Amino acid sequence: MEEKIFSNENEMFKYIKDEVVAKQNVFKCYINEIKLDELANVPILTSLFASEYDVSEETIAECMESGVVASLPFEGVKKTIPAYPTSLASLSERAGLFGKTITYHPIEMNGGFKYYPDECQIIMQEGTLLAAHSNQYAYLRQDQLMQTAMLGLEEEMGCYEFIQGEYSPWMTKISWRFPKAKFTRLGITATPALQFTTNDVAKCGANLHATMEVENYIDGKKEIVSCRMGQSLSCTHKDGHTISDFKNNIEMVFSLLKDSEEKIMELREITILHPEDCFMNLVRHYNLPIKAGEKALDDFSVFRPETVNAFDLYLYLWNITMYLKAEKVPATKICDIEEIIARTAHLNAAAWQKFDVAK
């Protein structure tokens, strides 16, 4: 299942509803009823396996990355299905076993399953095991989340524009902007935007991140960079949240975006004395990709203002994500990097001073 990119909101909603949610089965079974067996990584057997498990050859090829099939009860019958790579993390939690042995030899998890008579929640998609969550996991249908967001944003913000949507089994990500809320303050022109992320394979939940679209220089060209600002709102899967809780979060988007505007102004009040050193100190401290960080620093060094503030550096940190996208880095990895960069927006003046040190 390769990552799909959408430029049309209705097309993405239809895909999520008809090709994702409609092809999912969510059911419960006991952990000690799960058994893993090896799926031989032999390309010549791909079509044979596809026929045996009633899935496409493409799906079998992708499942060979996990190397296992799972046997479990489904609708009263013991069923054996290929395990998609996304399932391994949640299976490991159900077995209570972790580490390199489990990573390289997943069938060792069978030794852990037998000790857990508890129920778990299985998500199966297109004949493959997508995830095996705890019984407390709150399954939030992605089509309902997206529809709730679309209706709520129109009601709360008056109008919005769909920027882009991305879907993969690991991550669903949607960005919207609010052009009528565009503002200019203290020389900064920004357009408020919102990023929505969710998935069915981890504990992340349904998340709303306030972002700002600001012009910036990337590789010598002026482009629009989207950077997270302020707080995020989340309905986590593990806390039993519902679509109603997500709707409540949508109703808070306006205040979330206003807080983001004020966060920009706060960062602009912090003067940086050694900007190049401060930038790389941040990159190293937060374990951001060095190569992309150095490219972002080059952008900053060429176009930096005479007097630099914390927002100037924060904005160029987001260039790192643009370079990673250009390198076709997986969306989940970029999302992790975005989470890390967003933390620096919450540093106070004293914390910035610790990084503002010359070599």
Predicted confidence pLDDT, tens digits, the chain (359 residues) = 568 999 999 999 999 999 999 999 999 999 999 999 887 654 545 666 667 666 677 777 777 778 888 999 988 888 888 888 889 999 999 999 998 888 889 999 999 999 999 999 999 988 889 999 998 898 999 999 999 999 999 998 888 999 999 998 888 999 999 999 998 887 888 999 999 999 888 767 899 999 999 988 888 888 888 999 877 899 888 777 899 999 999 999 888 888 888 899 999 999 999 999 999 999 999 999 999 999 999 999 999 999 999 999 999 999 999 999 889 888 778 888 999 999 999 999 999 999 999 98
Contact by Cβ (8 Å): 288, 340? yes
Q: Given this model, what pLDDT does residue 192 score? A: 93
Per-residue pLDDT of 311-337, as tens digits, reads 999 999 999 999 998 898 887 788 889
Stated pTM of the model: 0.86
Tokens at residue 107, please?
């069938």
Question: Shortest CA distance to 354 belongs to which of 262, 285, 301?
Answer: 285
Tokens at residue 323, please?
């370079």
Per-residue pLDDT of 111-143, as tens digits, reads 999 999 999 999 998 888 999 999 889 899 999
Residue whose pair of structure tokens reads 């003067």 in the numeric block: 271
Tokens at residue 145, please?
């989340």
Q: Given this model, what pLDDT does residue 161 score? A: 96
In order of 10, 19, 85, 233, the CA distances from 60 in angstroms are: 30, 18, 11, 37
Q: Which long-range contacts (CB under 8 A, 24 or more apart) does 172-177 make?
A: 172/16, 172/142, 172/196, 172/197, 172/198, 172/199, 173/197, 173/331, 173/335, 174/12, 174/146, 174/149, 175/211, 175/226, 176/149, 177/213
Q: Given this model, what pLDDT does residue 45 score? A: 56
Q: Given this model, what pLDDT does residue 41 score? A: 55
Q: Given this model, what pLDDT does residue 311 score? A: 94
